[in-house]
Amino acid sequence: MSRSYPMRDLPQQVTVHEVGPRDGLQNEAAIVPVEVKAEFVDRLADAGHKVIETTSFVHPRWVPQLADAEELLSRLHRRPGVRYPVLVPNLRGLERALAHGVDEIAVFASATETFAAKNLNRSLETQFDMFEPVVAGALEAGVRVRAYVSMCFGDPWEGDTPIPQVVAVGERLLGLGCYQLSLGDTIGVGTPGHVTALIDAFGSPDRLAVHFHDTYGQALGNTLAALWAGVTTVDASTGGIGGCPYAESATGNLATEDLVWMLRGLGIDTGLDLDKLVTTSTWLAERLGRPSPSRVVQALSKG
């Protein structure tokens, strides 16, 4: 199917921020060999991705799957025009990232007290003591900084997250000098009207991105709501893999292929080659030992 049916008030171009190698793999129990990770990242670049979130410089005991961050970066075949951001929570992580020539990082905050404790061993307030020097140090070193805020819609321990609480954390991160704020629905409980209300509460969509996990099957509907509200960067993960080890109810991210199928149908350009994405997902699924959860991958790989 190649015809597109554009709708009113949608952007003409969308940037897909691919998080498969980081968010997708971080929850895998069996350690994926570093050469598979390196090939995965290279294949994503070959499929047309311009932003590939590659790994995390977190504590290796907290996320053992990504303990090979240094080695992975040394194996990449970096392509001009492709960005390879990494997650960095603290100064120790920044030091490690800078030693490996990283030119973009992301800090990741929580909108709720409980998740700040579980994911970062900090409080809602003291997480900023950790991020402030990281953002300042990265900017000083000429490294771009993205920010995430997690549990933007709800949290397994505290229920619905109040919108003003999310906006307060998000604006503080943007105020530090982060170029973009990705709104994380870590456990996938958001619905489209909630997405619109949250984006509207920020006053402008210009520096916002969205990051939907698909636990309740809402990720594509939520994405459409975000696009209508003016967002033009959408996070997604190859084949819909992923989750957060510190939020058990978090399942996979919005699948990149499902997103690209929808955007292509709307006539929105992403620069991505869907056939290559599907081939990469199928290749990765074989290595992970289970089929991709993406409906589009399942449909297209049946031939």
- Buried/exposed code over 177-197 (b: 16+ C-beta within 10 A; e: otherwise): ebebbbbbbbbbbbebebbee
Q: Which residue, 56 or 270, has its beta carbon nearer to ligand HMG? A: 56
Is 92 a binder of ligand HMG (CB under 6 A)? yes
The footprint of Mg ion (CB under 5 A) covers: 23
HEC per residue, 21-81: HHHHCCCCCCCCCHHHHHHHHHHHHHCCCCEECCEECCCCCCCHHHCCHHHHHHHCCCCCC
β-pair type (144-150, 55-56)? unpaired
Residue 205 binding partner per list ligand HMG, Mg ion, none, with a CB distance cut-off of 5 to 8 Å that depends on partner kind: none
Catalytic one among 63, 208, 244, 268?
A: 244
Residue 124 binding partner per list Mg ion, ligand HMG, none, with a CB distance cut-off of 5 to 8 Å that depends on partner kind: none
- Could you confirm whether 178 is annotated as catalytic? no
Is 56 a binder of ligand HMG (CB under 6 A)? yes
Identify the CA nearest to 201 among candidates 234, 158, 171, 232.
171
In the complex, residue closest to ligand HMG by CB = 184
Sign of CA dihedral 72, 74, 75, 79: positive
Quote the CA–CA distance of 217 and 294 in Å, as a whole number. 11
Q: How far apart are CB 161 and ligand HMG at their closest, in Å?
A: 11
Is 184 a binder of ligand HMG (CB under 6 A)? yes
106 forms bridges with which residues in the sheet?
Answer: 87, 146
Residue 178 binding partner per list Mg ion, ligand HMG, none, with a CB distance cut-off of 5 to 8 Å that depends on partner kind: none
Q: How far apart are CB 20 and ligand HMG at their closest, in Å?
A: 12
Residue 261 binding partner per list ligand HMG, Mg ion, none, with a CB distance cut-off of 5 to 8 Å that depends on partner kind: none
* Residues designated as active site: 244
Residues that bind ligand HMG (CB under 6 A): 23, 26, 56-59, 62-63, 87, 89-90, 92-93, 96, 108, 119-121, 148, 150, 184, 186, 211, 213, 244, 246
